[in-house]
Amino acid sequence: MTNQEDYFYDFAMKLVLEAGLVLKISIEAKKTIKEKQGDWDLVTEYDQKIEDTIVGKLKQEFPNHKFIGEESTGANLPELTNDPTWIIDPIDGTMNFIHCFPHTCVVIGLAINKEVRIGIVYNPILEQLFTARKGRGAFLNGRPIKTSNIQDISKCLVCIEPGFLKVASLKNKMFERIQLITKKTHGVRTLGSAAITLCYIALGAVEGYHIEGPGISTWDIAAASLIISEAGGVVVDRVTGKTVDIMNPRAIGACNDKIAQELVKIIHEADRLAELNESQEKF
Ligand code: LIP
């Protein structure tokens, strides 16, 4: 990491901590809640306010940099170029934020030459600050963290996102995926924040995670995928099993590649079952 990147990191850290304070103060406030794609995909005025503040300050400091943010970029994802690109989720876990469920966070990542170099995920409610810089390890509140070294899928705790059962095109597949993952692992959990869940893999608290669905995008996984890889884990594409494309996250996060590939297989099998059931229903 260059001195310049150290400066980027320090600047981003200041913004994350300031935004975290806003999130912490506002979690119990009355909020205006709007649905984006359905009642499983919500947004509040705080999402927009926090993103505007973060992007405004970054633009002022780094006028030549690019930006990808959940609220300003929306569905029209720009191409990721070699330019320094800040990737921001002002509130990841908005549903949790609305319900005062304490897994919600501010996320900032920075990609340079299409590679994530800086990742910061801050949950100010539980005072958990996850950080990573390329090649320098991953940290929780300044303490180094490592993924769990479990190699046996049946001993894994795996997180999933049942909210996507509400999406008609994914319903059957999600149902089979949840069922099969539950059968083949120690257990299943759901936290409702992609960034925090990926950081929990980095921490060694869970071994795997699968997320895919409408609205899930670069900002949900970019920063945390660096935190996982710096902690010894991986984030792979659930179709190819190769390193995930942060611009097209249909992701499996895992404590190591063996577990990631097991999860790839389970999801393939679940999807095959879902397709079989669908074709039988037609007759
Ligand atoms: C959320 C994800 C969460 C998923 C939600 C949503 P947001 O991001 O992190 O894991 O279940 O559908 O997309 O919208 O709170 O930033």
State whether the Cα torsion 196-202-205-210 is positive or negative: positive
Distance in angstroms (rounded) separating the CA atoms of residues 143 and 54: 26
For the chain, what is the total number of helices (H) and then of strands (E)? Answer: 8, 14
What share of the chain in percent tops pLDDT 90? 90
Please indicate whether residue 92 is annotated as part of the active site.
yes
249 lines ligand 1 (CB under 6 A): no
pLDDT at 282 over 80: no
CA of 283 relative to ligand 1 center, distance in Å: 36
Burial class (CB in 10 A: 0-12, 13-18, 19+), 28: exposed
DSSP-derived pairing of the beta strands 251-254 and 208-211 = antiparallel
Please indicate whether residue 44 is annotated as part of the active site.
no
Q: pTM for this structure?
A: 0.96
pLDDT band at 283 (very low <50, low <70, confident <90, very high): low
What is the tens place of the pLDDT at every residue in 9-65? Answer: 999 999 999 999 999 999 999 999 999 989 988 999 999 999 999 999 999 999 999
Q: Which of 63, 37, 231 is nearest to 131 (CA)?
A: 231
Q: Which of 13, 27, 28 is nearest to 110 (CA)?
A: 13
What is the tens place of the pLDDT at every residue in 201-252? Answer: 999 999 999 999 888 899 999 999 999 999 999 999 999 999 999 999 999 9
pLDDT band at 173 (very low <50, low <70, confident <90, very high): very high
Q: For residue 280, what pLDDT is reported?
A: 82
pLDDT at 111 over 70: yes
Distance in angstroms (rounded) separating the CA atoms of residues 8 and 10: 6
Mutational pocket test of ligand 1: of 71, 87, 94, 235, the residue with most ligand atoms within 8 Å of the beta carbon: 94
212 lines ligand 1 (CB under 6 A): no
Counting from 1 in the atom list of ligand 1, the atom nearest the Cα of 91 is: 16
From the candidates 47, 51, 92, 237, give the one annotated as an active-site residue: 92
Counting from 1 in the atom list of ligand 1, the atom nearest the Cα of 197 is: 10
Q: For residue 72, what pLDDT is reported?
A: 87
Among protein residues, the one whose CA lies closest to atom 1 of ligand 1: 93
71 lines ligand 1 (CB under 6 A): no
Please indicate whether residue 271 is annotated as part of the active site.
no
What is the tens place of the pLDDT at every residue in 125-134? Answer: 999 999 999 9
Distance in angstroms (rounded) separating the CA atoms of residues 37 and 134: 34
Counting from 1 in the atom list of ligand 1, the atom nearest the Cα of 104 is: 15
Distance in angstroms (rounded) separating the CA atoms of residues 119 and 117: 7
* Token representation of residue 268: 């393939």
Task: Report which secondary-structure segment, H or E, holds 36.
Answer: strand 33-38
Distance in angstroms (rounded) separating the CA atoms of residues 34 and 37: 10
Q: Which of 19, 215, 23, 198 is nearest to 119 (CA)?
A: 198
From the candidates 91, 125, 160, 221, give the one annotated as an active-site residue: 91
208 lines ligand 1 (CB under 6 A): no
41 lines ligand 1 (CB under 6 A): yes
Q: Which of 91, 95, 90 is nearest to 39 (CA)?
A: 95
Please indicate whether residue 220 is annotated as part of the active site.
yes
CA of 2 relative to ligand 1 center, distance in Å: 32
Q: Which of 73, 38, 28, 35 is nearest to 52 (CA)?
A: 73
pLDDT band at 2 (very low <50, low <70, confident <90, very high): low
Three-state DSSP class for 221? helix
CA of 163 relative to ligand 1 center, distance in Å: 9
